Amino acid sequence: MQQYASQIHRCFRCGYCKFPTDYSSFNCPSYRRFRFDSYSTGGRLWLIYAWLKGEVEWSEHLADILYACTTCKNCTEQCPMKFAGDIVDWIVGARSDMVEKGKIPPRVARFFEAVHGYGNPLKLLRSDRDAWADGTKRYEPGDEYLFYVGCLGSYDENAQKMSKSLAELLNKAGVSFGILGSEEECCGNEIYMLGEMGLFQVLAEKNTQQFKELGVKKIVTLSPHAYNVMRNNYSAAGANFQVYHYTQLLSDLIKKNKIKLSQNKAKVTYQDPCFLGRYNKIYDEPRQILQSIPGIELIEMERNRQDAFCCGGGSGNFVMDLLAGSEDSPGRVRVREAYETGADTLAVACPSCLTIFTDAVKTEDLDEKLTVKGISQIVMESLSSK
Amino acid sequence: MSDIHEDLARIVGKNWVSSQKEERYLYGRDPGLMPPHEPEYVVMPKTTEEVQEIVKLANREKVPVVPKGAGLSLTGLVIPQRGGILLDMKRMDKILEVNDKAGYVIVEGGTTHATLKSHLMKHYPHLRHSMPDSPPIATIVANAVIHGQGRLTQQHGFNSDMVSGLEVVLGTGELCRIGSCAVSQYWFSKGPPMPDLTGLFLGWFGTTGVITKLGMKLYPCKKIRDAMMFLTDRADLVPDIMRKLGRTEMMEDIVSSFAPLPLRLKGNFNILIIITGDSEEEVEFKRKMAWDTLWEYFESRDGGFLSVPPDMKPALLAMPSKDTTRFADTSKGGGFEYSGPITPIEKYPEFIAKLEELASKYKLFYASSARVIDGGHSMMFSFSYTFNRADPDSMVRVKTALDEAAEFALEQGGVIWKPNIDEQKMVMERMDPNTLKLMMKLKELLDPNGIMNPGNWEAK
């Protein structure tokens, strides 16, 4: 990441990063929202380079442009150049420089303050972190899995339904697991993507230390964001545990017949979360779960898998919402696309997607026509009574 | 905030106008080597009416207006030489009509080639358009305005030859329809049997008006496409080879490439031949035609067909071609530019010699591709050199080499394709004086206040 300043001039600004594979639409969420070239990946990289060269002074507008990137990795997927895999690191590197210089948008600063002070970006009390849990047991040494719930799954009213249903499913399937409750700390994925490397290091070390002390060997996460950061960015903090996203675990439990499913008639379309799909190439397990439920018809949106259109919530935007306020906001665009498939349910595997889409269906006046649900909720509703 | 900014915001909505430094910086330069000049305002209109309002405002205020597609000419054609209002047309991105029976499409002024390609593949898989090698964000209008080329140029001429009608906001703000659509609801002809007025706008780089709608001819999309590669190490044979292939009237595309890398192909002229068919029999027949046409070079041991490995074919057949874009980062510098004269095919050997001479003189990495145009009446020959954006010296060397290449092309009887403002002056200096006078009269007629992309096609 430190090398970004010596590499960033390599972007030609060809614009492939704006599209999905079949060019059917614009697939960069911030470009789709704002449409000025400055909000595309290429424009952003050129502006960062101009800032490094002193051709453009720092401004709040420049910082907004930089932080409006959701780090969804569509650009990495589509860029034809050899440096494609480095693009997100370059953006995170520039954000890190801005953080070090104290030059960040107020909304980003508030995000950092909240995580630092409260352990979550919503500024909610640590003691309320397990308010959703309703008796779900605490992790104890010897439990097979630590269920890492994450900030949204702990505090957000809608995402809590995902957490609850997952905890119930794991209990019913006889999985040995526990949660950290009020001792749980923010995973730091957004902090990393927003470039606050000092705070990220603190969170990664604190979490890793806690997991080690409890003897945790396996972690199952509700959020793809937590799954990503723990799997890919915790190694420097000495992490040596296995991380699973809950859809991987549920898929396995269904295959082993530990979760038995009955008829649930619904037309469902599925949103690939960026941190599950493009970041970690998990595309099949969520679909396998949905397809294993009798009565569910899975209808794909035109942009799916590596071409899925981001909900707009990445890089802390599920709280900061720098892309909100327009019919071109990614969440609103995406729920319209979901509705156009003829589906009555938009299935998600990520609490960020859930919160963004739940708001978006209301704004688009689709709440009577399209229901947004976590996959764990759908599975829970489909449980066989036998 | 200036009055003009407020007026623009009133016309397009406040979200679609910016006078902030970041947008001015970005829209004041392109990926090529021409010096930047920033606009004062960047505006993204959504409708023809908004474009009219903006042009009328610009006339009142005597402020320049520069219409822009994706800005990928690399020759700075939409760098606002005198500031003013930059019109980013890409919000006008609708495909308004596909007339399957007559074989044309009507698009708005900022529709990208990628959007059209995707639309046709999904809804009209039996139809296609001439996809250029430029990145997918290139707009159909801008490509036609610079007389761009595409995958069907060998068969049907410049992409601008495939235009079948225009809607244009003149430099005065008046709205005008050009072609059959001026008298009919159909957009099947850009002029004939009437006078062809598209020539008042195509090739003018936005100095005579803003194209807000464009009709473009569509062609059959054959079910099978295949790539063949013929190699020779003799530049002097390439013109005959390309001409003979063109005259078979069987090939979709014919492009001769020359570059020092990959090493296994160094010193060879690689002639890519694309063939298409609705059946294997049709493809096989065309493949045999190519073999028969070039058999004499095989017999004289001057050339031969390269067996193209299956894993190489997708890249050769790709539309758009990602390899073209990748050339920019060959030297990990993120930049390339080319001078692309349109010239008789017979000049190929001289141009190749000049390409290598300039590369050696200025220590540059080079490549060239030459595409046959319209069956062989001419070709586009590219002098392509890479540069490093972090190395100003390399940028100066490439620019100097390209200036020399442009001079050379003109001396050889070629005409510079999408010339930058310096090259436009070179062209106008050599132009028949009465032709130049006519051009200037037309320009003044269509843009009396001289607000349309000023600096381009200016004789003074």
- Does residue A131 fall inside a structural domain? yes
Architecture of domain B224-411: 3-Layer(aba) Sandwich (3.40)
Partner residue opposite A43 with nearest CB, options B20, B26, B388: B26
Q: Rounded to a whole number, what is the distance in Å from the CA of B434 to chain A's nearest CA?
A: 40
List pLDDT tens digits, range A27-85: 999 999 999 999 999 999 999 999 999 999 999 999 999 999 999 999 999 999 999 99
**A94 and A140 share one domain:** no
- Does residue A195 fall inside a structural domain? yes
Of A222, A251, A280, which residue sits at a domain end?
A251
- Does residue A386 fall inside a structural domain? no
Residues B384 and B391: beta-carbon distance below 8 Å: no
Tell me the mean pLDDT in the region A87-107.
95
Interface-testing mutation among A22, A37, A59, A301, with chain B (most B C-beta atoms within 10 A): A37
Report pLDDT for A3.
78
Q: Do domains B92-220 and B224-411 have the same CATH topology?
A: no
Q: Rounded to a whole number, what is the distance in Å from the CA of B20 to chain A's nearest CA?
A: 8
Find the largest Cα–Cα distance for chain A: 69
- Does residue A230 fall inside a structural domain? yes
Decide if pLDDT at B388 tops 80.
yes
> What's the Cα-to-Cα distance from A268 to each of A136, A340, A371, rounded to whole Å?
29, 12, 9
Q: Give CA–CA dist B207/B76, Å, rounded.
A: 14
Decide if pLDDT at B17 tops 60.
yes
Of A224, A251, A278, which residue sits at a domain end?
A251
Q: Give CA–CA dist B120/B122, Å, rounded.
A: 5
β-bridge mates for residue B167, sequence order: B177, B213
Decide if pLDDT at B158 tops 80.
yes
Q: For residue B55, what are the contacts with CB-CB under 8 A and spacing of at least 6?
A: B65, B169, B170, B171, B172, B173, B210, B451
- CATH fold, domain B3-90, is 3.30.43
Task: Please give the tally of structural domains in chain A.
Answer: 3
Q: Give CA–CA dist A227/A235, Å, rounded.
A: 13
Interface-testing mutation among A9, A19, A23, with chain B (most B C-beta atoms within 10 A): A23
Question: Cβ A14–B72 below 8 Å, yes or no?
Answer: yes
pLDDT band at B105 (very low <50, low <70, confident <90, very high): very high
Q: For residue B203, what are the contacts with CB-CB under 8 A and spacing of at least 6?
A: B145, B146, B147, B160
The sheet carrying A296-298 orders its strands as A296-298, A266-271, A345-348, A371-374
Report whether the peptide linkage leading into residue B320 is cis, meaning its omega lies within 30 degrees of zero. yes
Computed over every residue of chain B, the mean pLDDT equals 96
Q: Which residue in B has a C-alpha nearest to residue A325's C-alpha? A: B15
Cβ-Cβ contacts under 8 Å, B118 against chain A: 22-24
H helix or E strand, kind and range, residue B337: strand B334-339
Judging by DSSP bridges, how do beta strands B219-220 and B334-339 pair with one another?
Answer: unpaired
- Does residue A11 fall inside a structural domain? yes
Cβ-Cβ contacts under 8 Å, B25 against chain A: 47, 50, 55-56
**A129 and A228 share one domain:** yes
**A99 and A50 share one domain:** yes
- Does residue A306 fall inside a structural domain? yes
Decide if pLDDT at B384 tops 90.
yes
Report pLDDT for B1.
56
Interface-testing mutation among B37, B137, B388, with chain A (most A C-beta atoms within 10 A): B137
Backbone angles phi, psi at A339, to 5 degrees: -65, -40
Tell me the mean pLDDT in the region A123-141.
95
Question: Cβ A14–B21 below 8 Å, yes or no?
Answer: no
> What's the Cα-to-Cα distance from B282 to each of B130, B216, B275, rounded to whole Å?
21, 27, 9
> Shortest CA distance to A222 belongs to which of A241, A245, A243, A249?
A245
Question: Cβ B389–A37 below 8 Å, yes or no?
Answer: no
Report pLDDT for B6.
97
**A272 and A367 share one domain:** yes
> What's the Cα-to-Cα distance from A124 to each of A154, A339, A371, rounded to whole Å?
10, 33, 27
Question: Cβ A47–B25 below 8 Å, yes or no?
Answer: yes
Report pLDDT for A385.
63
The residue whose two tokens read 């001079």 is: B407
Q: Give CA–CA dist A150/A187, Å, rounded.
A: 7
> Shortest CA distance to A229 belongs to which of A90, A92, A116?
A92
**A232 and A128 share one domain:** yes
Question: Cβ A81–B325 below 8 Å, yes or no?
Answer: yes
Question: Cβ A59–B44 below 8 Å, yes or no?
Answer: no
Question: Cβ B333–A13 below 8 Å, yes or no?
Answer: no
Tell me the mean pLDDT in the region B267-285.
97
Q: Give CA–CA dist A314/A225, Å, rounded.
A: 8
Question: Cβ B135–A16 below 8 Å, yes or no?
Answer: yes
Q: Rounded to a whole number, what is the distance in Å from the CA of B341 to chain A's nearest CA?
A: 22
Question: Cβ A9–B389 below 8 Å, yes or no?
Answer: yes
Instruction: Locate A142 and state its tokens.
Output: 């010897």
CATH of the domain at A265: 3.40.50
Q: Which residue in B has a C-alpha nearest to residue A33's C-alpha? A: B15
Angle between helix axes A60-67 and A106-118 (nearest 10 degrees) is 60
Cβ-Cβ contacts under 8 Å, A12 against chain B: 31, 325, 328-329, 334-336
**A220 and A280 share one domain:** no
Cα-Cα-Cα-Cα torsion A45, A50, A52, A57, nearest 10 degrees, comes to: -120
List pLDDT tens digits, range A291-303: 999 999 999 999 9
Which residues in B have their CB inside 8 Å of a CB on A? Answer: 15-16, 18, 20-23, 25-27, 31, 42, 44, 70, 72, 88, 90-91, 112, 114-115, 117-118, 121-122, 135-137, 322-323, 325-326, 328-329, 332-336, 388-390
Architecture of domain B92-220: 2-Layer Sandwich (3.30)
Report pLDDT for A386.
58
pLDDT band at A2 (very low <50, low <70, confident <90, very high): low
Which residues in A have their CB inside 8 Å of a CB on B? Answer: 6, 9-16, 18-19, 22-24, 34-38, 43, 46-47, 49-50, 55-57, 59, 61-62, 65, 80-83, 326
> What's the Cα-to-Cα distance from B174 to each of B56, B66, B209, B215, B443, rounded to whole Å?
9, 17, 9, 19, 15
Question: How long is chain A?
Answer: 386
Partner residue opposite B322 with nearest CB, options A23, A37, A80: A80
pLDDT band at B209 (very low <50, low <70, confident <90, very high): very high
Q: For residue B113, what are the contacts with CB-CB under 8 A and spacing of at least 6?
A: B129, B131, B132, B134, B136, B138, B139, B140, B143, B320
Question: How long is chain B?
Answer: 460
Question: Cβ B22–A16 below 8 Å, yes or no?
Answer: no
Computed over every residue of chain A, the mean pLDDT equals 96
Q: Give CA–CA dist B51/B169, Å, rounded.
A: 7
**A59 and A80 share one domain:** yes
Angle between helix axes A351-363 and A330-340 (nearest 10 degrees) is 80
Question: Cβ A23–B328 below 8 Å, yes or no?
Answer: no
Cβ-Cβ contacts under 8 Å, B88 against chain A: 35-37
> Shortest CA distance to B385 belongs to which of B340, B421, B420, B428?
B340
Cβ-Cβ contacts under 8 Å, A52 against chain B: none
Helix (H, G, I), strand (E, B) or coil at A116: helix
- Burial pattern A261-286, b for ≥16 Cβ within 10 A else e, equals beebebebbbbbbbbbbbbbebbebb
β-bridge mates for residue B98, sequence order: B105
List pLDDT tens digits, range B221-264: 999 999 999 999 999 999 999 999 999 999 999 999 999 988 88
Amino acid occupying residue A63: A
Question: Cβ A36–B21 below 8 Å, yes or no?
Answer: no
Instruction: Locate A341 and state its tokens.
Output: 């498939």
Q: Rounded to a whole number, what is the distance in Å from the CA of B444 to chain A's nearest CA?
A: 32
**A128 and A35 share one domain:** no
Spans of all domains in chain B: 3-90, 92-220, 224-411
**A326 and A224 share one domain:** no
Decide if pLDDT at B460 tops 50.
yes
Find the largest Cα–Cα distance for chain B: 74
* Helix, strand, coil fractions of chain B, as percent rounded to 5: 40, 25, 35
pLDDT band at A1 (very low <50, low <70, confident <90, very high): very low
Q: Which residue in B has a C-alpha nearest to residue A22's C-alpha? A: B118
DSSP letter (8 states) at residue A178: E
The domain in which residue A227 lies consists of: 124-251
Of A196, A227, A251, which residue sits at a domain end?
A251
Number of residue pairs across A and B with CB atoms under 8 Å? 103
